Amino acid sequence: MSSTAFEVKAYPEMWESLNMDVPRFDKARQMLGEVYGKMYLSQPDRPQNMAYFDEMISEIFGGRIKEMLDVKKTGKPVVGTFCVYIPEEIVVAAGGICVGLCGGSQGPIPDAEKILPRNICPMVKSAYGFKAGRICPYFQIVDFVYGETTCDAKKKTWEILDRLVPTYVMEIPQMKNKRDKTLWLEEVKDFKAKVEEVCKTSISANDLAGAIKVINDKRRALQRLTGIRSANPAPISGKDALLIEQIAFYDEPVRFAQKVNALCVELEHRIANGEGVAPAAAPRVMVSGTPMALPNWKVHNLVETAGAVIVNEESCIGTRYFKDLIDENTSDIDSQLEVLTDRYMQIDCSCFTPNNERVDQVLKEYKDSNAQGILHYSLQFCHTYNIEEIKIREACEKEGIPYLSIESDYSPEDVGQLQTRIEAFLEQIRG
């Protein structure tokens, strides 16, 4: 598929049926196709199995939406989420679809700023703006959305979002003591009860066991891909790996795992033949920090256009989402919910205090990925990550790791400044 021929396919009649602002959304669709073609399909030596993920972007607003509509026709729900703490296994166990709704685009932010304050996280504003402007088919198709309390901007925005779409909130404790797990487990049970109510079904132990296996398999495939990226020369670009991680939040999980594993087979052959997408001497960069929701590809594009390769993402889009699995050796529902909660408590978001395990995890992933420097990325007004960056920076200084901290949003206005800083950072790595 050439960059000149790439198109995000249009489904105007379906979008009209979803009560979308079709003329405005169609302009965004065309822009996404142009950007994707230039940024992704222009890459040399891309793996052949990336063709599936290119097709997923081509059908991002059509084919996948049709699949979701077919599920809704059977009476099963489509549940939108904003955070990796919402247990998607429960939705899958009920026969529903769990889809990530985080916003990664500048386009809907003006819609959000008509209601929300300007000086809050762009991800929150982008997500809210997609619904307020009726310019996201995923937001238009969900039966309800499930928020959480990982940051102040989110938990207060959910109250306003509830006016536009049914929004339910899961309380995430901010510490990880015994009493916090008790609260978390009760929240998981309440989530299960809510999904059962919407689905008009009861989730059995067999249902949940099957769903745990499905989502574990998806995470295993992503773990495999991450391990492969430690090879030098890198067999896949950071942009392509980031794209796959983003697609994980809306693709059908069984199919997605199969396609990732097929890609991994191809990449393993590349490694065996000493083939890569960048020279072995290219600087190897690990990205840490806030998630980069689709289509936020700015930092990866700047780093790799400058001649480096990104080999890992320590974020909620990256390893924080898939590094931990759920124990599959439980047979009763109470035990399953217990081990499910244990797994979700291992996620080391910066909302927790203390959070020393995240510092340890960053250093571990840096070594495992054979990176040569860490770029810490924070969204503007993301106070927890911006403040926790201090501890990450101190740990890197202690270990002698080349380090760059970036704070940005979704606009292109700071691209020139970021490019200059990134190029200087890469020169530091090159020595």
Local confidence pLDDT in tens for the 431 residues of the chain: 444 579 999 999 999 999 999 999 999 999 999 999 999 999 999 999 999 999 999 999 999 999 999 999 998 999 999 999 999 999 999 999 999 998 999 999 999 999 999 999 999 999 999 999 999 999 999 999 999 999 999 999 999 999 999 999 999 999 999 999 999 999 999 999 999 998 889 999 999 999 999 999 999 999 999 999 999 999 999 999 999 999 999 999 999 999 999 999 999 999 999 999 999 999 999 999 999 999 999 999 999 999 999 999 999 999 999 999 999 999 999 999 999 999 999 999 999 999 999 999 999 999 999 999 999 999 999 999 999 999 999 999 999 999 999 999 999 999 999 999 999 999 999 98
Contact between 61 and 36 under an 8 Å Cβ cutoff? The reply is no
Tell me, what's the pLDDT at 1? 46
Report the SS3 class of residue 137: helix
Cα of first residue to Cα of last residue in the chain, in angstroms, is 38
Residues 6+ apart with CB under 8 A from 163: none
C-alpha to C-alpha distance for 330 and 334, rounded to whole angstroms: 9
Residue type, 109: I
Q: Is residue 263 part of a domain?
A: yes
Q: CB count, 10 Å around CB of 187?
A: 21
Tell me, what's the pLDDT at 5? 76
Q: Is residue 1 part of a domain?
A: no
How far is C-alpha 57 from the geometric centre of its chain's CA atoms? 15
Q: Is residue 62 part of a domain?
A: yes
Tell me, what's the pLDDT at 416? 97
Tell me, what's the pLDDT at 3? 46
The structural domain count of the chain equals 1
Q: Is residue 162 part of a domain?
A: yes
Q: Is residue 47 part of a domain?
A: yes
Global pTM reads 0.97
Tell me, what's the pLDDT at 4? 53
Strands 167-170 and 284-289: unpaired
Nearest-CA neighbor of 309 among 298, 317, 300? 300
Q: Is residue 309 part of a domain?
A: yes
Q: Is residue 5 part of a domain?
A: no
Q: Is residue 25 part of a domain?
A: yes
Which residues constitute the domain of residue 33? 12-430
* ∠ CA 226-41-312, rounded to 5°: 20
